[in-house]
Amino acid sequence: MRRLILALLPLALLATSCSTTDYDLGVTASLPPRFADKDPQDFGARSPHRHQVHGIDVSKWNGDIDWHTAKKGGVSFAFLKATEGTDRIDSRFAEYWQGAKSAGVLHAPYHFYYFCSTADAQADWFIANVPKEAVQLPPVLDAEWNPASPTCKIRPPADEVRTALKRFMDRLEAHYGKRPIIYTTVDFHRDNLVGYFDNYPFWLRSVANHPGNIYPARKWAFWQYTSTGVVPGVPTNTDINVFAGSAKNWNKWVASVSR
């Protein structure tokens, strides 16, 4: 009996030590699509529709959003563009976060990082324009290359990129009391993030394949699986995302980041 107890002890410790980033994907079952999609992809057995918790990410280009309709239609969370660089704020950010809050849609602001400004200058800009009451879920760092930018096309070395991103996130975490989420794309992740920031939640863009197939070894919390979604209450095509785990685990995670 004593040998049996000793054998089981490591398993018990493992179970009790699971963090809020253990999203128990295995408990989710196959579900029908919650929203329409103007360009649906076949993700095979690992479809985003297996997931129970869905959300959107929006900016001013999404127009007049009816947040109560979106909530009733199945939107559980929303990532809202707030700032970019050191001089841009999304013109609908205040309207969106207040509308989402009124409808009971959990929300988080995101910042589009600009590699021609310092991390501290961008953190100052974000903090100056995003009140703490707008940060219901952890703030998001949108880290991607932007070849279409008319003013900043530089691509710093990977070590400089990581140092800058870490400084920016440290500033936000110190101010808002929540560890930021990192949003990224395949090429930016490959160039800068592989093997780094494992203690941060990741939100990955992957619109043609499961993120597990194109972000090797990267554990993720959110998956952006389409940009052509049709969501009640949103007048334009929109990005749709899923949370990695079950509805039960979602509630646990929200409780943990809301303290």
Closest CA to 59 of 105, 110, 102: 110
From residue 186, give the alpha-carbon distance in Å to each of 30, 73, 220.
26, 30, 13
Weakest-pLDDT range from 17-31, 99-113, 152-166: 17-31
Using CA atoms, how far apart are residues 140 and 247, in angstroms rounded to an integer? 21
Place of tokens 């090797």: 216
pLDDT at residue 29, as a whole number: 54
pLDDT over 90 (residue 1): no
pLDDT over 50 (residue 105): yes
Q: What is the pLDDT of residues 185-242, one digit of tens each?
A: 999 999 999 999 999 999 999 999 999 999 989 999 999 999 999 999 999 999 999 9
Using CA atoms, how far apart are residues 50 and 155, in angstroms rounded to an integer? 37
Residue at 106: amino acid letter: L
pLDDT over 60 (residue 21): no
31 phi/psi in degrees, rounded to 5? -130, 150
Weakest-pLDDT range from 12-16, 60-64, 82-86, 186-190: 12-16
For the chain, helix, strand, coil in percent to 5 are 40, 20, 40
Kindly provide the residue ranges of all beta strands, DSSP E only, lying in the chain, ordered along the sequence. 36-37, 54-58, 77-84, 88-89, 106-112, 140-143, 181-184, 202-205, 222-230, 238-243
Containing 201, the helix (H) or strand (E) segment is none
Q: What is the pLDDT of residues 63-83, one digit of tens each?
A: 999 999 999 999 999 999 999
Residue 34 burial (CB count, 10 A): 19
**Are the beta carbons of 62 and 234 closer than 8 angstroms?**
yes
73: helix, coil or strand?
A: coil
pLDDT over 50 (residue 91): yes
Task: Spell out the alpha helix ranges (H) of 17-92.
Answer: 67-72
- pTM, whole model, 2 decimals? 0.89
Q: Catalytic residue numbers?
A: 57, 142, 144
